[in-house]
Structure 1
Amino acid sequence: MAMLEVKNIGISFGGLKAVDNFSLTLEENELSGLIGPNGAGKTTIFNLLTGVYRPDKGSIRLDGRELTGKSIIEINQAGIARTFQNIRLFSNLSVLDNVKAGLHNHYPYTTLEGILRLPRFRAQEKEMNRRATELLEVFHLEQFADTRAKNLPYGSQRKLEIARALATEPKLLLLDEPAAGMNPNETAELMETIQLVQKRFHMTILLIEHDMKLVSGICERLTVLNFGKVLKQGETQEVLHDPEVVKAYLGE
């Protein structure tokens, strides 16, 4: 069974078809890319997958479960997490607390238990601290646990956002332009980080990215979107050398 099955989804805004008959299948533990010119509809696809928008038509299934029309919270709880092109961290919270924010659905306690610091609250907090620290260690951020997120270097903020997304224990991780604003050294480190996440967590990953070096270096398959429609899907090198893709996107 595929991890993600998207069939013929579409959405229009004011009569304009932003996404039209988009279909995509991702197998478990696949690392795939979604590319295309600015305005092609890539982020709209992510918003449809995560419940920000509700598709006008089509279906979205994750690990066999129908998610079409579900809320953002329901979709996240079902196993889809994302990062954003513009980093969205809790900038004044510590690095550790940012990761813990992603863990709360898995370690529930009542408001009263928290206020009175009852035994279950203390036990849950201890376990959350342990789990959050483990995730930070994966990204070599544990030494910054008490640092405010806004004080991290840019590349480390990107990694922290991925760590927080992983804290929700997703089945599918959506990365929206993770290399945006990075220098070449940071991008190279990010490539290694994404591959590590895929292997260590057996994670299915779909990423939007304009950095073709990153895309060609880590993505197994690509989907090219143009004017809201799929232009090409297939193995990465085959897609990148397709004449229609070169003409529409690479501009060569």
Structure 2
Amino acid sequence: RTSKIIDTVSPLLVDAEPDVRLCICDLLISLAKIDSSLDLVAKCISDMNATSPMEVDDLDYVTIIDAYAKIDADFFNKSSEQHMMIILSQSLYNMSSQELTLTDSARNLLCSFVEFAASILCQEASAHSDIGKEVSKPDASWTGDRVLWIMNKFILKHIGDAVNRGISSGKGEILLIRKMVITLAYAGNLAAFRRLCSEDNEVDFFKNVFSIQAHRRAKATKRFAKVIKDSSVPVPEE
């Protein structure tokens, strides 16, 4: 019964207005009284949307940042996909914030999820190569197919939408994509962009495309054009 409600309200957290977000938080808290498995997620989302007790219409940044800090690999591992999508939706929303502390916290969480996704893919690869051996599995039965779906069809889709609609400057999103390219280099279409990364900060496309120095931006754009020209980069589906 609670599952259908969660599936309906979870995507709304990607771009809902503050008043709607608070209503969703109250709803999740109420649902947690029926379904105790929601307790932790409901508390986290409530804290991630906490308002200041001192300032009208202002956020409680300390509470929000503390809530983000509590989300780690163990949290991912023990959470169901449905519950994790609530947290990821909130993080995508904060990625478009004008407040640097929020964008950094959200990006760090999403980067942690990228690392978690990589660990799931590694576990599956190990399971295939070590048939007959006992291999530890995530508590919530995460699969490589599902984490890749979340990356490609949810996270990448929404950060693309945010940038295209002008909701975000794109800086945080570019750094997140760089993390995905490096960490999930052989997953899906990401391998095609591996050459855009470099240990040399002067060369790395992702670190220079938004540089305040015009010559570094121009160099990054030129590098991007060359990689696209020299590589067989898949064209995204409409």
- After TM superposition, the score normalised by the length of structure 2 is 0.34
- Higher RCO (C-alpha under 8 Å, 6+ residues apart): 1
